[in-house]
Structure 1
Amino acid sequence: MLTHVEIEGFRSLRHVELDLPGLTVMIGPNGSGKSNVLDVFAVMAEAASGLLSEGIARRGGIGTLIFRGGENKIFYGFDFAPEAEFREEGAEVHYKMQLRPVGTFPVVWFEQVSKGPIPPHVNPLFLMHRDKQSPTTMFRSLVTGEKEEINKEIESQSELAIFQVKDQTAYPTPYKLLRQFENWTFYRPLRVGPDAPIRSPQTIRPGVRLFPDGSNVASVLHAIQNQFPAIWDEICETLTNVYEDFRYVSFPAEGGDGKILLRWWEHPFEKEYGFSADLLSDGTLRLLSLLAILKTPDPPPLICIDEPEVGLHPDWIRLVAELLESAATRTQIIVATHSPQLVSHVKPNHVVVIEKEDGATTVSRLTEEELAGWLDKFRLGDLWLAGHIGGRP
């Protein structure tokens, strides 16, 4: 699990460090930097797929991403606990990367993978090292008992060295990091208009992870229904609690070209016809998508969701909080929200306050101690609205 992130020089993040439990809920005014924090993880996911330079160009170029008034660089640092994928490492795993502009192009100036605690005056075990002064990257091979060091030429100065790792036997830790970053998933508020992909017939695809645009929601829910009946029963129970007249969801074939359509059945029409996805309300489609994201039996290692409350009835927000807390026992989740109701229904120590000071983003995590006495009388969301915990314009 990702335990700590350090960011320097990315957009409004002059220098931000954040410890990460299973669930992190970020609150703060518009423009404070919540989306910038989320975008850090989106950039790393793109970089792990060999799209670092393309992703930076799409965001306006390296020059527009560097914090103005600071050093002319961007730094990312990620620490992972020795559990799950990194259990065999037996120690914390660390990844560091620095970007600098050369003309209009981003250049990876420094990149490093190491493991072990890093007390003062003790060098960690370096598993990969790259810097601009050398045309090659140094990988430490585990095939020969961690004693053989192999140089690999860098294919592109604007892409990550770990993207070039193919041999998971010789270089298991860099390979695991690559897969970790590659599978981080980012969801913005879903597009649900009349021409949105979520409303159209969908090709059945393998896998039970929702695409960021929701274009495979029927395929994901269909797979859960057929392969994971216990989870499907939980989803249907949730829908029944939300919609008194809900009966079931079916996935009939559509058009004879291998596509299926999500069809919704409810009382008193369950024996006559169902409502296809193009007729469902925006809120219903958003809720179905959240259920697909948070109930998947195969979650990605990190899920980032920007404003999960968008388009949902206020009475459903407590359910969203419960889904987030439950999913965070199986994977790691980072959320940005403007919903006081959502904040009121998550654990206080899961809430991070994002603010801006002199143009730079600051972060602070709430603690039970500082809220002692307040929560006996007020809900956390009300304290936020009243300005007692910060995060207000």
Structure 2
Amino acid sequence: MRIESLRLRNFKGFRDASLADMPRLCVVVGANGTGKSTLFGVFGFLKDCLLFNVRQALVQRGGFREVLTRGVSPAEGIEIEIKFRLEIAGVQRLVTYLLHLGEERGRPVVLHEVLRYKRGRYGSPFHFLDFRRGVGYAITNEEDFNRPDEELDREEQRVDPDTLAISGLGQFERFKAANAFRRLIENWHVSDFHISAARGTKDAIGMEDHLSVTGDNLQRVARNIYENHPQVFEHIVQRMRERVPGVTEVTPKPTEDGRLLLQFRDGAFVDPFIDRYVSDGTIKMFAYLVLLHDPQPHPLLCVEEPENQLYPTLLWELAEEFRDYALRGGQVMVSTHSPDFLNALRLDEVFWLVKHGGYTRVLRARDDEQIAAYMAAGDQLGYLWKQGLFAGVDPA
């Protein structure tokens, strides 16, 4: 399953903007304040809407009026549309999820929630889930393509007006697309990695299946892979040897008081170093490798500014790691300010954001004839960005 497009209307600085035909490795650049963090925040917002409800997700972000684009009437509401590819009945179908949020009597509501796709090659997309203000229906036999539209079985449902219908219905396998989209949202990962949170000894008991958003459970996740997936862990360590000079071994080590720490061995020394005394870049590269080689990988990773704390020559290697993850079936979105990271990217992988009239526009490198011509002649995107060829990206 792959997200193919994302459209935002009235979501903070995005008055009406789209990312179309998204590649599996999608990189976004732009000056400070153009909306890179907001763009990634959409995924965290949808996850909070699913796991809690719309009201709580909005409260965490200052309320409906703070998320609504400034200068826009509340009557217009906020719209998020995601299109993704999903195999249904042996055919890869383009599924659209549309969420329209509004405010009534001072409380946020789901004005409209739709999940639709075409049943055949021709005709309009069919609504397999359609809810307005908590009242609607879902199709229970959507994979029965031998029956005409009017004979499909509809299950009428009611949910709280500020609750996503896919939150409940998506738990059931009989709602194929809703179930798949719910699992996608539940399992995508928005990284907000903090070196300080990842260092030091940690309690040995706690979440260990996946790296947390901040990376504060790095030791537990590393131990889990070390003990239960030794081949994967050895592969991670081998990548560390190739990318970080001197590192020859990494070992999750229990302490006498029942906690965990990481030991990094430098081949030039007999005794290993504990993670408190190794460089920020070493910790961060190891954390990214743990994330990217998770035995149960996330369908979508969102990573902001991975270049921080990493030596410039490592950024090409990191871009290759992200691309390798994408080639294995995942999808990666990255924001960056680094020309060195951009130099490792391909023409169709890069979008950039610019502010126009106070609102954010999305542009794409491959659609710019001048950038495409320079790339065809052997240039690199990072150098082109530094030369000012990404129109409007320079805050000056």
Scaled by the length of structure 2, the TM-score of the pair is: 0.89
2:194 pairs with 1:184: no
1:219 aligns with 2:199: no
Question: Structure 2 vs 1, CA of residues 88 and 180 (structure 1 numbering), >3 Å: closer, same or farther?
Answer: farther
Specify the SS of the correspondent of 2:366.
Answer: coil
Structure 2: how far apart are the matches of 1:301 and 1:187? Answer: 13
Runs of 4+ residues over 6 Å off in structure 1: 117-120
What is the letter of the counterpart of residue 261 of structure 1? L
CA gap 1:118/1:110 in 2 versus in 1, 3 angstroms: farther
- CA–CA separation in structure 2 for the residues paired with 1:136 and 1:377: 56
2:14 is matched with 13
Map of 1:49-128 to 2, 5 A cutoff? 49-72=51-74, 73-83=77-87, 88=90, 90-116=92-118, 122-128=123-129
Aligned to 2:136: 137
Deviations 1:132-191 (A, max 9, x none): 3xx52211111895722111121x222211111265233222122111111121012x22
Task: Identify if the C-alpha distance between structure 1 residues 197 and 342 changes in structure 2 by more than 3 Å, giving closer, same or farther.
Answer: closer
Q: Secondary structure at the match of 2:333?
A: strand
1:342 alignment counterpart: 341
Name whichever of 48-57 and 143-152 sits farther off. Answer: 143-152
TM-superposed deviation, 1:334: 0.7
Q: Is 1:174 matched with 2:178?
A: yes
Deviation at 1:241, TM superposition (A): 2.3
TM superposition shift of 1:246: 1.5
Change (3 A) 1:379 1:239: same
| Distance verdict in 2 for CA 1:172–1:89, change over 3 Å | farther
Corresponding residue SS for 1:300: coil
After the TM superposition, which of the residue ranges 105-114 and 243-252 deviates more from structure 2? 243-252
Aligned to 1:27: 29
How far apart are 1:350 and its partner, in Å?
0.2
TM-score normalized by structure 1?
0.89
- Post-superposition shift, 1:371? 2.9
How do 1:142-291 and structure 2 match up within 5 A?
Answer: 142=141, 145=144, 147-154=152-159, 156-165=160-169, 168-188=172-192, 190-193=193-196, 196-203=197-204, 208-257=209-258, 259-270=259-270, 273-291=271-289
Contact 2:191 2:213 in 1 (8 A): yes
Amino acid corresponding to residue 168 of structure 2 in structure 1: Q
Q: Is the 8 A contact 2:226 2:252 kept in 1?
A: no
Unmatched segments (≥5 aa) in structure 2: 145-150
Aligned positions of 1:238-387 closer than 5 A: 238-257=239-258, 259-270=259-270, 273-330=271-328, 331-367=330-366, 370-375=370-375, 376=377, 378-387=379-388
Gaps of at least 5 residues in structure 1 are none
Residues 283, 312 of structure 1: 8 Å contact kept = yes
Amino acid at match of 1:157: P
Pick closer, same or farther for the CA change 1:15–1:293 going to 2, 3 Å.
same
User: Following the alignment from structure 1 to structure 2, what is the Cα–Cα distance between the partners of residues 160 and 246?
Assistant: 47
- State the Cα distance separating 1:88 from its structure 2 match: 4.9
